[in-house]
Amino acid sequence: MLGLLLALAAQTAAPPMGWSGGPTQSAKVSWPTHEQDVVLKDFRFRDGEMLGALKMHVTTLGAPHRDRAGQIDNAVMVLHGTGGSGKQFLSPQFADELYGPGQPLDIRKFWIILPDNIGHGGSSKPSDGMRMQFPKYDYDDMVDAQYRMLTEGLGIRHMRLIMGTSMGCMHSFVWGETHPDFMSALMPLACEPMEIAGLNRMWRQLAIDGIEADPAWQGGNYKSEPMTGLRSAENLLFVAGAAPLLYQAQYPTRVAASTYAEQRVASAIKTLDANDLIYQLDSSRNYNPWPALEKITVPLTWVNSADDFINPRNLPVPSRAVKRMKNARFRLIPESSETHGHGTHTWAKFWKADLAALLARSGSDARR
């Protein structure tokens, strides 16, 4: 759930992924990885708060390649969704489709960077000790931290590609506006480049309210997790990330459907921290790239799915937005009994041809 690491029930069953869509188990991963912490000193948040040391945990695959000027020229960053972590992109439905020989992100050619964003995974977050005194980060802060992690920590001056899913999709649009020349291409998956409002804000707010209404939350100073509030929030997250046709096909009886939903929620809430979840859900509060879309000029391929509850297919935003971005393309993945709702973004088979085409139209492979 929410990109946290839980086991897949079966190869044919729907994966236990929350609305962040991250495949949620990286056990027995065969891909060679390297992990490190990049500590950003005196990190100032947009609202003026500061942390003397902000930790960004990073997982990488492949190796950096340097051009004749000594600059890294093959770096690709993949950004996770709300509640997820970089390791979610090691799951078979993502990694096995992209990282192997001859595949779009062949790790013999590309250096793949999978950060845990602020408030997530192994990076600095409220549950490390500050609880609700942790700075109230937003998406601009998260992108700032990514930029400093890449430039100060990893020595990168230009990215071959930045792509992201769900929250990471929204971060991609922020990147395109705030650092328009820092990357050769952008690939946002499963989001809209507009203000978080309407139903999208409503269900997030209700999930937060459910936690804060639990007397056990105690203003964030709980001695044990407020389980009633977490269950209320997780029920909303489960529905938001669901795939109607897939779930109908795989759970066609009342007993099967009820059992699966109850097990999924019960399993997910065991891994959650209430304060972390409040921060994660609220960090989108001032996201709104719509007024400045014209700043995005690099080749961009944006993919949504027709069965996505969070980004419904009948919004008029994509047709209007692509006209305002110089090199943008949009594709809507049709709904079927094989798509995964909002989580379709993490099943690379549905869009890896789009990724290959984007890499082709935005420049040659770094090591060709």
pLDDT at 178: 98
Task: Say whether pLDDT at 23 is over 80.
Answer: no
| Distances in whole angstroms, Cα of residue 47 to Cα of each of 38, 98, 154 | 23, 38, 26
List pLDDT tens digits, range 198-224.
Answer: 999 999 999 999 999 999 999 999 999
Lowest pLDDT segment from 22-26, 140-144, 357-361: 22-26
pLDDT tens digits, residue range 107-147? 999 999 999 999 999 999 999 999 999 999 999 999 999 99
Among the listed residues 195, 198, 60, the one whose alpha carbon sits nearest the alpha carbon of residue 139: 195
> pLDDT tens, 59-110?
999 999 999 999 999 999 999 999 999 999 999 999 999 999 999 999 999 9
- Average pLDDT of span 283-296: 98
Instruction: Give 160 or 1, the one with higher predicted confidence.
Output: 160
Give the domain ranges of the chain.
Answer: 34-195+236-361
More confident residue, 6 or 251: 251
Q: Is residue 253 scored above 60 in pLDDT?
A: yes
What pLDDT band is residue 30 in, cutting at 50, 70 and 90? confident
Sheet holding 50-61, edge to edge: 34-44, 50-61, 111-115, 75-79, 161-165, 186-189, 300-305, 328-333
Tell me: pLDDT of 348 over 50.
Answer: yes
186, 170 contact by CB (below 8 A): no
Helix, strand or coil, per DSSP, at residue 241 = coil
| Cβ neighbours of residue 80 closer than 8 Å, sequence gap 6 or more | 3, 20, 22, 86, 88, 89, 114, 116, 117, 120, 164, 165, 166, 167, 168
Residue 121 backbone zone (phi > 0: left; psi -120 to 50: alpha; other: beta): left
- Quote the pTM value: 0.92
Model pLDDT, residue 16: 33
Q: Does 12 have pLDDT greater than 90?
A: no
Name the average pLDDT for the chain: 91
The total number of residues shown for the chain amounts to 368
User: What single-letter DSSP state applies at residue 103?
Assistant: S
Q: DSSP alpha helices (H): ranges in 31-126?
A: 92-98
Q: Which two tokens stand for residue 286?
A: 């001032």
Report pLDDT for 364.
61
- List the single range of 19-28, 76-85, 185-194 with lowest mean pLDDT: 19-28
Mean pLDDT of 183-204: 97
> Mean pLDDT throughout 300-321?
96
What Å distances lie between residue 126 and 118, 277, 364, CA to CA? 10, 9, 42
Q: Which of 108, 232, 101, 117 is nearest to 175 (CA)?
A: 117
Q: Measure the CA–CA gap between 99 and 90, rounded to whole angstroms.
A: 9
Weakest mean pLDDT among 13-22, 29-38, 195-204: 13-22
Helix (H) or strand (E) holding 244: helix 244-250
Question: Hey, how many other C-beta atoms are within 10 angstroms of the C-beta on 266?
Answer: 11
- The CATH architecture to which 34-195+236-361 belongs is 3-Layer(aba) Sandwich (3.40)
